[in-house]
Homo-oligomer: A and B are copies of this chain.
Amino acid sequence: MLSWIDGCPADLLSIKDRGLAYGDGLFETIAVKHGRPSLIERHLQRLEGGCARLGIAADLNLVHRELLAFATQLGDGVMKLIMTRGDSQRGYAPAPNAQPRRILQGGPPPLYPSAHAAQGVRLFACQTRLAEQPLLAGLKHLNRLEQVLARSEWQDSDHAEGLMLDTSGRVIEGVYSNLFLISGGVLLTADLARCGVAGVMRAELLEQAPALGIPIVVGDLQMSDLQQADEVFLCNSVYGVWPVCGFMQLSWPVGPLTRKLQRTVLALLDIA
């Protein structure tokens, strides 16, 4: 496996790293095709925002150069960047001189069944709820036990993803995807001010949709909104768009707006 730490080939990390001790860091999972990272500007933008909110003094220009160089070596696949606050002594207080650490791992392209994108996926109904923490909401940080617990709830291959609600019962997202509804020609997705991960593909779709003549609404979604939706789909920055064809007793056709948005983002991932 191709992997670098702070720009040098390495696959072993200091056990003093705060990413291990406290999940004190962020990550980005980036599709790479023909040596080029997809949606790189959006990934960097989210990382920059996350570092600002957590107070991690990362050199984003250096990160950008490293991601490009790593992608060139990887060729085709998925690269994952973990940015931690670096080492520390015992205790939660970050050292004032902490050096953030960049960990890059490369892997092969994901082997999702082509039917996921073509015919759609079924959603598992996760019992694990997302806690409401505005200070961390939207960030792709390393505190991901809720996702680990949610993903542990099902093992069957009938469900490609799981639906997560927040502790107040709002419909938020998938375990590793964002969720969109289409109702009356309008694209709806959850407001992520209290919990959830603000995916880069979600951001891309929210920008693309109006240009395609599809109005967008970002707000609180209830289970009734899901029940009444005309189309439902998932997205992330690796697989693009997957239509959702079923959830519990509900089912949806793969609709025309889902297909339109799917085609649009396929081009961005260069997997058309």
Residues of B with C-beta under 8 A to A110 = 90
Asked if A94 is an interface residue, CB under 8 A from chain B, the answer is yes
Task: State A15–B85 Cα separation when bound (angstroms).
Answer: 15
The one of B11, B128, B176 in contact with A91, judged by C-beta atoms closer than 8 angstroms, is: B176
- For A93, the chain B residues whose CB sits under 8 A away are 151-152
Does A55 count as interface, using CB distance less than 8 angstroms? yes
Question: Do residues B5 and A54 form an inter-chain contact, with CB atoms below 8 A?
Answer: no
Q: From residue 121 to 174 of chain A, which have CB atoms closer than 8 A to chain B?
A: 128-129, 131-133, 135-136, 141-152, 167
Residue of B nearest to A89 (CB): B107
In whole angstroms, how far apart are the Cα atoms of A89 and B108 in the complex?
11
Q: Is the CB of B15 within 8 A of A142?
A: no
Does A105 have its Cβ within 8 Å of any Cβ on chain B?
Answer: yes
**A24 touches B (CB below 8 Å):** yes
Known: A5-B15, A13-B14, A20-B142. 11 other contacts (CB 8 A): A10-B15, A20-B82, A21-B142, A22-B143, A22-B147, A23-B143, A90-B107, A92-B150, A93-B151, A129-B135, A141-B145
A19–B13 alpha-carbon span in the complex (Å): 12
List residues 13-46 of chain A with CB under 8 A from any CB of chain B. 13-24, 27, 29
This protein's copies in its complex:
2
Decide if A24 touches B146 in the complex (CB within 8 Å): no
| Interface presence of A201 (CB below 8 A) | no
How many Å lie between the Cα of A19 and that of B14 in the bound state?
13
A interface, CB within 8 angstroms of B: 3, 5, 10-24, 27, 29, 54-55, 78, 80, 82, 84-85, 89-94, 103, 105, 107, 110, 128-129, 131-133, 135-136, 141-152, 167, 175-176
- In whole Å, how far is A26's beta carbon from the nearest beta carbon of chain B? 10
Shortest distance from the beta carbon of A83 to any chain B beta carbon, whole Å: 12
Closest to A94 in B: B152
Most B CB within 10 A of own CB, among A89, A90, A94, A128: A90
Q: How far is the CA of A105 from the CA of B269 in the complex (A)?
A: 43
Q: Which residue of B lies closest to A149 (CB)?
A: B135
Question: How many Å lie between the Cα of A145 and that of B27 in the bound state?
Answer: 14
A107 to B91, CA, bound (A): 12
- A136 to B132, Cβ gap below 8 A? no
State how many angstroms separate the Cβ of A176 from the closest Cβ of chain B: 6
A–B complex contacts, Cβ < 8 Å, 10 sampled: A3-B15, A13-B14, A13-B17, A21-B82, A22-B142, A23-B143, A80-B90, A91-B176, A129-B135, A135-B149
- Shortest C-beta distance, A147 to chain B (Å), equals 5
Flag if B15 contacts A103 (CB, 8 Å): yes
